[in-house]
Amino acid sequence: MSTPERYDAIVIGGGHNGLVNAGYLGKAGLKTLLLERRHLVGGAAITEELVPGYKFTTFSYAISLMRPDIVQDLELVKHGMMVLPLINTFQPGLNGEYVFLGADADANYHEIARHSIEDAEASRDLDHLISRLCRALKPWMDRIPPNALSADPAEVAALAELRDYMASLDPEVRGLMEKFVNRSAAEILDEYFENDLVKALYASSGIIGSRVGPRSKESGLVWLFHKMGDYDGVPGQWGFHKGGNGGFTQVLARAVEGFGGTIQTNAGVSRVLYEDGRATGVELQDGTTLSADLVVSALDPRQTFTRLVDPDDLPQDLVQHITEYKFQGTAAKVNFALSAVPTFPGLEGREDLYMGFTNLGPSIDYLEEAFADCEAGRFSRRPFLDCCVQSTLDPDMSPPGKHIMSCFVMYAPYHLAESDWDTERENLGDTVQATLEEFFPGFGDLVLHREIVTPLDIENLVGLSEGNIFAGELFESQLFLNRPAPGWNQYRTPIAGYYQCGSGTHPGGCVTGGPGMLAARQILGDRAG
Amino acid sequence: MPRTTPFQSRLEPLNQTGIWKHWSGYLVAPQYQYSLNAEYYAIRNSVALLDTSPLFKYRFTGADARALLERAMARDIGDCPVGRAQYTCWCDARGYVLQDGVVMQVADGEYWLTAAEPALHYFRVLAREMGCAHVEVEDISSAFGILALQGPHAHSVLLQLTDAATPLKYFGVTSATVAGCEVTVARTGYTGDLGYELWINAADALTVWDALMMAGKGYNITPMGTTALKMARVEAGLLLMGADFHTSRFAWVDAQRETPNELGWGWMFRKLAQDGRDFVGRAAIATELEQGTSRWTTVGLAVDWHDYERAFVEAGILPPRHELYSESTMSIYRRGAKEWDYAGYASSFLSSSLLRKPIALAKLPLDLSVPGSEVDLEISVIRKPKNVLARVERMPFFNPPRKTALMSGSAE
Ligand SMILES: Cc1cc2nc3c(=O)[nH]c(=O)nc-3n(C[C@H](O)[C@H](O)[C@H](O)COP(=O)(O)OP(=O)(O)OC[C@H]3O[C@@H](n4cnc5c(N)ncnc54)[C@H](O)[C@@H]3O)c2cc1C
């Protein structure tokens, strides 16, 4: 079966990057079709009303790295973008102690000083230095990275520019950059802090979504990556989109349609069609073929290079890279509908505790133990949890007086040594709930509904290979010049007219839109000749 | 010693910052929480509760009440029937603005007015000059507390306490019973969002406050200080006396005065040619409108996001955005060959977190007032003046349909 409709561009996958890409292509005047396999767009950024009145952020739940240019270029405010401040951070311990940080720097100083007066000051130094580094790196987040393998004089010049730029950085800033690349989060933290609760608070950014412990070398870079965004111009801060990240992707969908793009759901693509090394269209899972001059894959690198096209048609060094590219998902989600906010002993009745991230992972050792389980091929018996009771910020997430709580769970390795995820699903839920019970006695009594999302669910539902939340680890070997493979880090593929724009391309995973935006820039540049 | 409003005993423990300021001699909280943005977003995301009791409140009664207001007010009081409120202003004989305020006719021939500055004497003198014997003007400022309930869930909260305000048209007024207390509810506010203002007998203040806070619990009701309110009103394109204009009463020279037309209120005079109203300042205003002698137009300005960003990035620093609100004068220049070619000024500036761009309320000459007109706005970057591109934008900057929508539903 074949339809007569012809598009200038077809974007495969309605995650936020596919939507951003389609938005830019539509804005440039291209007749653009976006194809999404599921019944809804958003990919890993969706909100689902699983129980009437309760909106679950099934997968991702907070926003910070969204590239500001996109907000302006795609007029997202007009379409309803609204990011609420996550005003507080709560780091409870298991012995009644806690760190509770808010919007006031001086109050935060005194709060940390309760644990260590030196840490209170050091945290200001470190925060400022990280902000300076992020500011320095930002321009490179928002441009197409150089191609390190190209002999093209423009690419050679871009690489030289990069080298000169890095060399020109203030030595203190460059020094921190080198630390983040070469050292573990724990090592860096040891240099700045003495208190374990404070260290653990910082260390959580270094392990999120990655198969690393706080003492693994790669955790430095993972930490830095999570600080590259901002909330309302405040570096490193996170926010919560009205209606969850699904609320945000609905905004994007309206923007795509506003720029004339067409979105088709329930339209899984089985393969990309190409002739003589040039893309000609796509074939849907139901056999329909659609033709277009341009095809953009917003899926991860494994799908883009080995599923949607025949890897035999690609250069073998590229296929080799993609085969070795690390996914190794280690994260899960357990989301709760609650009858009330949890109670922390000593701070009863304090809803404000939960108006932001609540980090359950009170020491470096706790996090390392959780990671040791992962290395042994099982999910953590006492997991690290990054929680957020989003209904304390956005009343439309739950019925009045009731709450919705998102818990991001580390570690849950995709490959279980002695079991499988269908068997372990409820066990994971119980383990997470038991951990919450430890910190918040009586938690179980509050639970009205529980949603468990295993790494296998992430793979099956979203299409993220092995459930890696970032479409591939955020390791140096897989970032920037190397994302997803050296020489193929500029959104093109070996097939002319076939491009990639998923989180497996620069700048990488998280709700950043960067891949979608930069790929559009590359596509439109190539078209202009 | 500052006075306190009838809500003070509830406000006191809520003010986590411990910071208070004075408003017309009363103690008020600029913000309650450390996070100003949390209060600002309550207006757009959930529901905010604000004590605006320090406003001056006047009651006009008697057979001549209407005649006095017809004479005093620049806007036609005839357009304010019973059960309606009206945004209005009053001027001096030379057509310069004395004050703006909201007037409502709560019962046949009985009007209540809010004002930012004292005006009792002014209205009484005017009544005497007119020879109006049958009007009583009273200061009822301390007889009532006023609470502004503003935000997308304002109606959900109010509906739990009374269905008398459902549906209530935009700028409609009704009496209602809340928690056993008689209150007057107006569908008004200073935020440009869905909202209500409740006039509450001072003795009932705490009862009504508690009822609203309780009803709002499930909707994240957030006590809001005056700063968040001022931020929201810039997005709503609403002027603030003392910032965007000043009363003519205490001005030294005309350069410190503004006419209603210069403040963008020309729409109050659309029917001037036909209506024959004899209000204070009419002759001057009519002449100004006929001859086009207005010196300014009040416009909304949106700063170009990229240009603002660039100004700071080039200097090696982060562009300030977060919780940035200012009422200091900023100069505006024409863009062209000539440098620093003065054109006008901005009087309120907000880096709008919601709209993701800096916006301002500005005075510009007529030729630059068309939406889309480009000007340079002077900002300060590491203590040096720097111009950034700004464009005239139609106000309100933010105007959600819910602001004026008819709300439905019945009390549970
Ligand atoms: C559990 C979890 C929590 C996370 N938390 C956060 C967070 O709080 N903040 C943050 O910034 N980031 C978070 N992330 C990461 C972030 O959500 C992802 O990196 C990002 O959303 C990926 O976007 P994408 O557009 O690149 O791809 P995806 O969102 O993966 O979108 C791919 C889309 O393609 C569709 N698709 C797949 N195959 C086909 C096919 N054959 N044909 C058509 N369509 C197809 C899928 O259904 C999906 O909609 C989280 C991720 C997960 C999984």
- CATH architecture of the domain formed by A9-45+67-81+242-325+471-528: 3-Layer(bba) Sandwich (3.50)
Tokens standing for B134? 């049958």
Contacts 24+ apart (CB under 8 A), B114-118: B114/B55, B114/B56, B114/B57, B114/B58, B114/B146, B115/B55, B115/B56, B115/B57, B115/B58, B116/B24, B116/B55, B116/B56, B116/B241, B116/B242, B117/B24, B117/B56, B117/B241, B117/B247, B117/B249, B118/B56
Q: Supply the pLDDT for residue A3.
A: 53
| 3-class SS of residue A398 | coil
Measured between beta carbons, which residues in chain B are less than 8 angstroms from residue A235? 318
What is the pLDDT, as a whole number, of residue A467?
97
- For an interface test with B, the pick among A63, A77, A165, A232 (most B C-beta atoms closer than 10 Å) comes out as A232
Neighbours of A135 (CB within 10 A): 17
- A75 C-beta neighbours (distance < 10 Å), count: 16
Q: Per-residue confidence at B412, pLDDT binned at 50, 70, 90?
A: very low
**Atom 10, ligand 1: which residue's CA is nearest?**
A510
Q: Do B351 and A233 touch (CB under 8 A)?
A: yes
Contact B217 A401 (CB under 8 A): yes
Nearest CA in chain B to A107: B34
pLDDT tens column, A367-426: 999 999 999 999 999 999 999 999 999 999 999 999 999 999 999 999 999 999 999 999
- pLDDT tens-digit readout, A235-249: 999 999 999 999 999
Produce one character per residue of A407-428: b if its CB has 16 or more CB atoms within 10 Å, e if not.
Answer: bbbbbbbbebeeeebeebbeeb
| Phi, psi for residue B185 in degrees, rounded to 5 | -115, 130
Closest C-alpha residue for ligand 1 atom 31: A15
**Per-residue model confidence (pLDDT) at position A345:** 96
Q: Which fold has domain B297-393?
A: Elongation Factor Tu (Ef-tu); domain 3 (2.40.30)
Are A395 and B34 inside 8 Å of each other by CB? no
Residue A401 and residue B320: Cβ atoms within 8 Å? no
Q: Is A44 in the pocket of ligand 1 (CB under 6 A)?
A: yes
> Residue B349: pLDDT above 90?
yes
Return the beta strands (E) in A68-175 as ranges.
83-85, 88-92, 98-101
Cα separation, A212 vs A214, whole angstroms: 7
* A267-310 per-position pLDDT tens digit: 999 999 999 999 999 999 999 999 999 999 999 999 999 999 99
Per-residue pLDDT averaged across B84-102, rounded? 98
Rg, Å, chain A Cα set: 22
Here the tokens at position B391 are 């464009």
* φ, ψ (nearest 5 deg) of residue A472: 120, 140
CA distance A498 to A491: 9
B41 in contact with chain A, both atoms CB, cutoff 8 A:
yes
Check CB contact of B356 with chain A, cutoff 8 Å: yes
Contact between B368 and B301 (Cβ < 8 Å): no
At B384, give phi and psi (nearest 5°): -115, 140
Q: What residues form DSSP beta bridges with B132?
A: none
Q: What percent of chain A has pLDDT over 70?
A: 99
Measuring CA to CA, how many Å separate B350 from each of B189, B231, B235, B361?
19, 6, 8, 9
Six-digit token string for A343: 């109670």
- Assess whether pLDDT exceeds 60 at residue B410: no
B196 touches chain A (CB under 8 A): no
Tell me how crowded residue B63 is: count the other CB atoms within 10 A of its CB.
Answer: 11
Name the pLDDT band for B249 (thresholds 50, 70, 90): very high
- Report whether residue A43 contacts ligand 1, using a CB cutoff of 6 Å: yes
**pTM exceeds 0.95 for this model:** yes
B101: nearest Cα among B260, B276, B288: B260
* B35 to A85: CB separation less than 8 angstroms, yes or no: yes
Name the residue ranges covered by the structural domains of chain B. 8-55+142-235, 297-393
**Atom of ligand 1 at shortest range from CA of A470:** 19
Q: What CA–CA distance (Å, rounded) separates A8 from A294?
A: 6
SS3 track for A268-314: CEEEEEEECCEEEEEEECCCCEEEEEEEEECCCHHHHHHHCCCHHHC
Lookup: tokens for A445:
């009594």
The rounded distance, in Å, linking the Cα atoms of B69 and B353 is 40
Question: Which residue(s) pair with A406 in the sheet?
Answer: A335, A388
> Quick count: other Cβ atoms within 10 Å of Cβ B117?
16
Average pLDDT, chain B: 97
Q: Is the pLDDT of residue B411 over 80?
A: no
What is the longest distance spanned by two Cα atoms in chain B? 68
| Local structure of A431: helix, strand or coil | helix
Closest chain A residue to B321 measured between Cα atoms?
A233
Name the fold adopted by B8-55+142-235. Gyrase A; domain 2 (3.30.1360)
Q: Is A15 in the pocket of ligand 1 (CB under 6 A)?
A: yes
Q: Do B34 and A81 touch (CB under 8 A)?
A: no
Q: Give the pLDDT score at B409.
A: 75
Query: How far apart are the CA of B17 and the nearest CA of chain A, in angstroms?
Result: 10
pLDDT digits (tens, 9 = 90+) for A307-365: 999 999 999 999 999 999 999 999 999 999 999 999 999 999 999 999 999 999 999 99
- Pairwise CB contact (< 8 Å): B35 & A234: no
Question: In b/e form, how buried is each residue of A220-238, taking b as 16+ CB within 10 angstroms?
Answer: bbbbbbbbbbbbbbbbbbb
Residue B47: partners with Cβ closer than 8 Å, 6 or more residues away: A395, B149, B150, B151, B152, B153, B154, B156, B157, B216, B219, B220, B221, B222
Question: pLDDT tens, A496-525?
Answer: 999 999 999 999 999 999 999 999 999 999
CB of A19 shorter than 6 A to ligand 1: no
- The C-alpha atoms of residue A331 and residue B20 are separated, in whole angstroms, by 46
- CA A300–ligand 1 middle distance (angstroms): 9
Please indicate whether residue A17, judged by its CB atom, sits closer than 6 Å to ligand 1: yes
* Span B131-169, pLDDT tens digits: 999 999 999 999 999 999 999 999 999 999 999 999 999
Q: Cα(B207)–Cα(B210) distance, rounded to whole angstroms?
A: 5
Ramachandran quadrant class, B292 (left: phi over 0; alpha: psi -120 to 50; beta: rest):
left
Instruction: Report pLDDT digits (tens) over A194-217.
Output: 999 999 999 999 999 999 999 999
Q: Which of A76, A102, A400 sits opposite B34 (nearest CB)?
A: A102
DSSP code string of A343-358: --TTSTT-GGGGSEEE
Cα–Cα distance list, A76 to A63, A256, B62, B352, B382 (Å): 14, 10, 53, 14, 31
What is the predicted pLDDT for the residue at A5? 77
Size of interface A-B (CB pairs under 8 A): 78
Joined tokens for residue B383: 């203590």
ipTM, interface predicted TM-score of the complex: 0.95
Q: For residue B250, with 0-12 CB atoms within 10 Å meaning exposed, 13-18 middle and 19 or more buried, which class applies?
A: exposed
Peptide bond into A235 cis (omega under 30): no
Using alpha carbons, select from A180, A241, A172, A201 the residue that is nearest to residue A396. Answer: A241
Q: Are residues B355 and A355, on separate chains, in Cβ contact within 8 Å?
A: no
User: What is d(CA B188, CA A282) in angstroms, rounded to the nearest whole number?
Assistant: 55
Element (H, E) at B216: helix B205-216
Are A485 and A496 contacting, i.e. CB atoms less than 8 angstroms apart? no
Cβ-proximal residues to B255 (8 Å cutoff; 6+ apart), any chain: none
pLDDT in tens, A438-448: 999 999 999 99
Whether B33 and chain A come into contact, CB under 8 Å, resolves to yes
CA distance A290 to A5: 7
Q: pLDDT tens digits, residue range B271-292?
A: 999 999 999 999 999 999 999 9
The amino acid occupying position A20 is V
DSSP letter, residue B247: -
Q: Are A337 and A403 in contact (CB under 8 A)?
A: yes
CA dist., res. A465 & res. B95, Å (int)? 72
